[in-house]
Structure 1
Amino acid sequence: MPATVRDVAMLLARIGVGIVFFAHGWQKLVTNGVDGTAAFFDQVGVPLPTVAAWFATGVELLGGAALILGAAVPIAGVLLALHMLGAFIFVHAGNGLFVDKGGYELVLTLGAASLLLAAVGAGRFSVDHLLAGRRRAAEPVPAGRA
């Protein structure tokens, strides 16, 4: 696959997954409220529900924004994948696959996509790539290599 096609595909995947995470974080913060999210977490047996609600809200908002921008994608991807593992274990695992039954298809898909982005990085059309290029340009050239 040509590099440009690969980078555009990574950009679109990052933006799509990032929007979904950001929207869910926004929902936890604004629509349900962190207290409402914590109450739900308590009901389903999530340990430290208030701390978990703040973590879930923050990682979805900040991690989603990071994916959209392509900033710190390996870190954001790992945190989001771990978050989805928790959602799988505490909320969705016992409900089967399909989301209409409360199943894990969405958290499985989002977790797998997050893990893939963490592994392959943000791609050329990203803040990560821009910053890496600036770091390389600022590095001194070793003696004898000029």
Structure 2
Amino acid sequence: MGNNTLFENAKTRNLGLLILRAGVGILFFVFGWQKIAGGEQVWNGVGSAMQFVGISAWPVFWGLMATLAEFAGGLLLALGLFTRPAAAFLAFTMIMATILKGATGTGIIDWYAPFTMLLIMTFFILNGGGVYSIDSVLRAKKHSGNLAA
């Protein structure tokens, strides 16, 4: 098959990247919003994951930080704005979620979801948001501005 087939087309790959980025970003945003609405009790539970890496102080603070990472990071990821930093914060959050689920769960069924999201965030850290992202638009404006100077 040649390079013009549907599944080898750069446009199709970029569209797939957009769908993945926006879909996963929206999921994080919605879950983050639910945790924000859950308040201090939820944040305390989320932040308790830090005890598994030796940090037992301020679980509400850590839980709020994880919640904000999911909420704001999810929105930024969906938009493709500051994709790599947003994915990095989300990756750290998913590392902690994987550790928490691994330590408190009953096996792979409990930690595969945060681990899968960690893998996806690693992809976005390495590759950015793609051509259909605000990052790409800003980069193009920056480069076109440099050429005019």
Same fold (TM over 0.5): yes
CA RMSD of aligned residues (A): 1.8
Aligned to 1:50: 60
Alignment of 1:20-99 (within 5 A): 20-30=27-37, 32-33=38-39, 35-41=40-46, 46=51, 47=56, 48-89=58-99, 91-94=100-103, 95=105, 96-98=107-109
CA displacement 1:69-119 (0-9 Å, x = unmatched): 000111111111111001111x20132111xxxx10110111111111111
* Counterparts in 2 of 1:129 and 1:21: CA distance versus 1, 3 Å: same
TM superposition shift of 1:37: 1.6
What SS does structure 1 have at the residue aligned with 2:81?
Answer: coil
* Counterparts in 2 of 1:121 and 1:42: CA distance versus 1, 3 Å: closer
CA displacement 1:41-83 (0-9 Å, x = unmatched): 4666643211111101110011000111000111111111111
- The structure in which a higher percent of residues are helix is 2
Q: Which moved more, 1:47-56 or 1:106-115?
A: 47-56
Q: Percent identity?
A: 27
TM superposition shift of 1:39: 3.0
What SS does structure 2 have at the residue aligned with 1:123?
Answer: coil
TM superposition shift of 1:13: 0.4
Unaligned runs of 5+ in 2: 1-7
How many matched pairs?
A: 135
Aligned to 1:119: 126
Amino acid aligned to 2:102: A
What SS does structure 1 have at the residue aligned with 2:130?
Answer: coil
Looking at structure 1, the residues matched to 49 and 141 of structure 2 have their Cα atoms a distance apart, in angstroms, of 46
What SS does structure 1 have at the residue aligned with 2:108?
Answer: coil
* Counterparts in 2 of 1:72 and 1:45: CA distance versus 1, 3 Å: closer
Aligned to 2:144: 137
